[in-house]
Amino acid sequence: MQSKESKKKIQLSKYMVYIVFVIVFIFFAIILNKKGFVNPTNLLNILRQTAMVSIMAVAGVFVLGAGQIDLTVGSNAAMSAMIASLILQETGSIILAIIACLAFGIGIGCINGLLVTRLRLPAFLATLGMMQAVRGLAMWITNTAAVPISNNTFNQIFGTGFIGPISVLILWTIVFYILGYIVFNKTTFGKHSLATGGNETAARYSGIRVDRIKMYVFMLSGALSAFAGILYAGRMQSGRYSFGDGDEMSVIAAVVLGGASMAGGTGSMIGALVGSILMGMISNALILAGLTSAQQKIVNGLIIIAAVALSNLAQRRKKN
């Protein structure tokens, strides 16, 4: 049986992201008070700006929970935004654009899954290669040129619209987290994802089709990355190959900060949401503080290191 001290350590690691979130928020609220950090408009803006990463983090909980990693999310989003913009420019059909984007995203996820389950490639290397290939495709398809979207209905639904004071991007985030929470915590798929990441051999012996679970989590990641690309397109009213650049690291950091382990077997949907908002809050604060883009990258890099370090520390405490 676990001692009281070990239980306290596990509980502390479980709620670490919430503690860090509160501390960071109070710190920035004091330091940047005169620059309007706590202004309701700015706080809603943080939620709006982090919507794409937050939605990709929903799938990230399943992926890391299953002991995998997906580095294609950012490039997938960029290519999906390009597909949406090109279809809208040619046909004006919103439904066709959505279907094509989701089909592309699921297709990329399927390829990632096959590389991991059939060719037995490490997920990191398989998705790293696919990340480069998809990003290159997004650059090549229009020779790095942006593709504007003039369909106001599409832009309103998926990016620039508001219902009262609330951006549609925030509402989309809420919808996906409600669905993600239910699937992750209340369904067999969520439980099997964690079992696969926790102990793959034991999961196989218990009858779980671990290769199928891996395929499904990669396909889910591809689908939500594609939808994030749709939101990028709607928000920016265009498709650009540069959308989502670096989002793969932000998603991993958010999910790990939220309580997931890089080794698999753990994850928290609410924690991932708080982690992604924390990342967005820090980026927003750095901009208000007047830091350059180079300095912001340095800080974001340190945050990713801290996230992985916290994950490793939490796992060591659980083992002890």
User: How much is the pLDDT for 13?
Assistant: 60
The overall average pLDDT reported for the chain is 92
Calculate what percentage of the chain has a pLDDT beyond 90.
78
Q: What is the pLDDT of residues 137-196, one digit of tens each?
A: 999 999 999 999 999 999 999 999 999 999 999 999 999 999 999 999 999 999 999 999
Q: What is the pTM of this model?
A: 0.93
**Alpha-carbon distances of 208 from 2, 42, 212, 275, 315, rounded to whole Å:** 28, 46, 9, 30, 24
Task: Calculate mean pLDDT across residues 1-9.
Answer: 51
User: What ranges do the domains of the chain cover?
Assistant: 35-315
**CA–CA gap between residue 193 and residue 207 (Å, rounded):** 13
User: How much is the pLDDT for 185?
Assistant: 96
CB–CB of 227/105 below 8 Å? yes
User: How much is the pLDDT for 3?
Assistant: 53
pLDDT at 299 over 90: no
Q: Would you place residue 17 in the very low, low, confident or very high pLDDT band (cuts 50, 70, 90)?
A: confident
Q: What residue has token string 């919103």?
A: 94
pLDDT at 8 over 70: no
User: For the CA atoms of 252, 257, 262, 263, what is the dihedral angle to 10 degrees?
Assistant: -150
Q: What residue has token string 């799938």?
A: 59
User: How much is the pLDDT for 1?
Assistant: 45
CB–CB of 236/88 below 8 Å? no
Q: What is the pLDDT of residues 227-245, one digit of tens each?
A: 999 999 999 999 999 999 9
Q: Picking from 61-75, 103-117, 173-187, 243-257, which range would have the lowest pLDDT averaged per residue?
A: 243-257
Query: Beta strand 147-148 with 166-167: parallel, antiparallel or unpaired?
Result: unpaired
Task: Calculate mean pLDDT across residues 304-318.
Answer: 70
CB–CB of 82/138 below 8 Å? yes
Calculate what percentage of the chain has a pLDDT beyond 70.
92
User: How much is the pLDDT for 5?
Assistant: 55
pLDDT at 215 over 90: yes
CATH of domain 35-315: 1.10.3470.10
Task: Calculate mean pLDDT across residues 246-269.
Answer: 91
Q: What residue has token string 């796992």?
A: 315
